[in-house]
Amino acid sequence: MSKSVLVVAAHADDEALGCGGTLARHVAEGDRVHVLFLADGVTARVDVDRQAQQRRQRATEQACAELGVTELSFLGLPDNRLDSLPLLEVVQPLEALLARLKPQLIYTHHMGDLNVDHQVAHQAVLIASRPLPGQSVREILTFEVMSSSEWSNPGYLPFLPNHFVDISAQLLAKLAALDCYAEEMRPAPHSRSRQHLAALALHRGHSVGVAAAEAFMLVRRLQ
């Protein structure tokens, strides 16, 4: 039986970095996948222009197409400044989307990430999907994003995966999606390099006995 899946990503490229292979697998299995991007992803940068935003938009559409995902929403909130907004301004549009899509499964950021937008995304998801009677969300999983999850303060909650998805058949699709975000990727030995992301997928897979995997932390599951 197919299900409705929602990804709540702080920025365009987080979806490919954190759960791109898993999304491609959901699509292959007939699930409905929708990705919501909270922040515009570029306005925190020096000398940003409209062309940069347009390039990021095109890259996002191309990357999601590589994964087979066609349902996208953009809130366009200020990049790297989500903590400057009342949390309600993030939660309310998310609640409206949940009411419309009625997802059973949500993927979002790990609360312990260094990036503040990732932290706000996590908080907003937990508030919008709080387990009230009639809540459609049955499961919440958080993903790791290189250059944020592994760079956080050691005193924060570390990313300790307890859920793995075999993406052996989807690894090439994930890498193709990452290639669409060439402006966001970095050369090795940076942790957000293509080489490292491929190696991470192999590491996560080999640690559970498959060729390639993506790792998650389970927040809540109702069966």
Band (pLDDT 50/70/90 cuts) for residue 41 is low
- For residue 63, which amino acid is it? A
Q: How many CA atoms lie within 13 A of 162 on its CB side?
A: 10
Query: pLDDT tens digit string along 58-93?
Result: 999 999 999 999 999 999 999 999 999 999 999 999
Q: What percent of the chain has pLDDT over 70?
A: 96
Question: Which pairs from 191-196 meet CB under 8 Å and 24+ separation?
Answer: 191/146, 191/147, 191/150, 191/151, 192/17, 192/146, 192/147, 196/146
Structural domains of the chain ordered from first start: 4-221 (3.40.50.10320)
- Tokens in use for 202? 């192999």
Whether 48 has a pLDDT exceeding 80, the answer reads: no
Band (pLDDT 50/70/90 cuts) for residue 44 is low
Q: Specify the pTM.
A: 0.95
Q: Where are the beta strands (DSSP E) in the chain?
A: 4-9, 32-39, 71-77, 105-109, 139-143, 163-166, 213-221
The per-type count for the chain, helices as H runs and strands as E runs, is 6, 7
- Tokens in use for 146? 């290189």
Report the distance separating Cα 219 and Cα 140, nearest Å: 5
Q: Identify the three-state secondary structure at position 195.
A: helix
